[in-house]
Amino acid sequence: MKQFIAFTKKEFHESAATFRLYILLAIFLLFGIMGPLMALLTPTILESLAGGDSGIVITMPDPTATDAWAQFFSGVVEMGMPILAIIFCGIMSNEFSRGTLVNLLTKGLKRHTIILSKFISAGILWAVSFLLAVGICYVYTAFYWDTEPMNYVLLTFGAPWLFGLFMISLLMFGGTLFGNFYGSLFTCLGAVLALMLVNVIPNVARYNPTSLTGTLSLINGTGDPSDFIRPLIICGVAIVALIVGSIAVFNRKTV
């Protein structure tokens, strides 16, 4: 436990010293602001494009809180998650390529402690950034619109967070297996891309962890919370398997 705390402190120190922490917070702060802002501005932008002499008249319904959340989710999922992957792609491989673990391993630091500490600290960073984005979006949305209390808050935001955690565990597994950041990034993006592709097979989407990013349906009322149970379980099992796999690979790895 002492080793775990020491190494985790080092991870947070590293995140701050290499600006990873600040970049992540700044980007997700921006996503939080962008959701409601885009929802408010979209009708204005479209009208100004259509206006003038073009003769096209676009009538847009007034934006709603649901539009703000739709913008928020599309930003976080389509841009935020790839950025998350790029920020964390060096999480294992930097240590391997620079040889910085040699001193610590020869001091008796256990290999599984390294994997668990890195995974948990990355998970916390991701949670804090994601919560910041959600919080900002929530405050703005409540300010501009009369919002009703949300149902299934934990599921709505916990599910996409878990998918981000799944991406982090993919990055760690790829980084441990290949020892460089290309391996890390390609493992993660390859796996996510493959999961998106298999969605074309009927009924697979019901089990696919990628559906965890679609919890907007819980906000606009088109989805059923029970739809997310299967992907949640599969995603959780996959994360555990990837972390156990990373430890197994690392234990056999020559440093």
CA distance linking residue 68 with residue 62, whole number of Å: 12
DSSP 8-state assignment for residue 145: S
Each residue 109-148 as x (binds other proteins by CB under 8 A) or -, in order, gives xxx-------------------------------------
* The token pair that represents 150 in the structure block: 């949300």
Stretch that binds other proteins, among 7-15, 41-49, 165-173, 193-201 (CB under 8 A): 7-15
DSSP 8-state assignment for residue 212: G
Find the binding residues for other proteins in span 91-110 (CB under 8 A). Answer: 98-100, 102-110
Residue with tokens 């990013």: 213
CA distance linking residue 147 with residue 155, whole number of Å: 19
**Smaller CB distance to other proteins: residue 31 or 111?**
111
Angle (CA) 238 239 240, round 5°: 90
* The token pair that represents 197 in the structure block: 């592709």
The Cα-based distances of 134 to 42, 120, 226, 235, 250 in angstroms read: 20, 21, 23, 22, 35
The minimum distance between CB 8 and other proteins, in angstroms, equals 11
Find the binding residues for other proteins in span 16-35 (CB under 8 A). Answer: 17-18
Give the interface size with other proteins as a residue count (CB under 8 A). 28
Among 12, 13, 153, 190, binds other proteins (CB under 8 A): 13
The minimum distance between CB 254 and other proteins, in angstroms, equals 6
Binding residues (CB under 8 A) for other proteins: these are 2-3, 5-7, 9-10, 13-14, 17-18, 98-100, 102-111, 251-252, 254-255
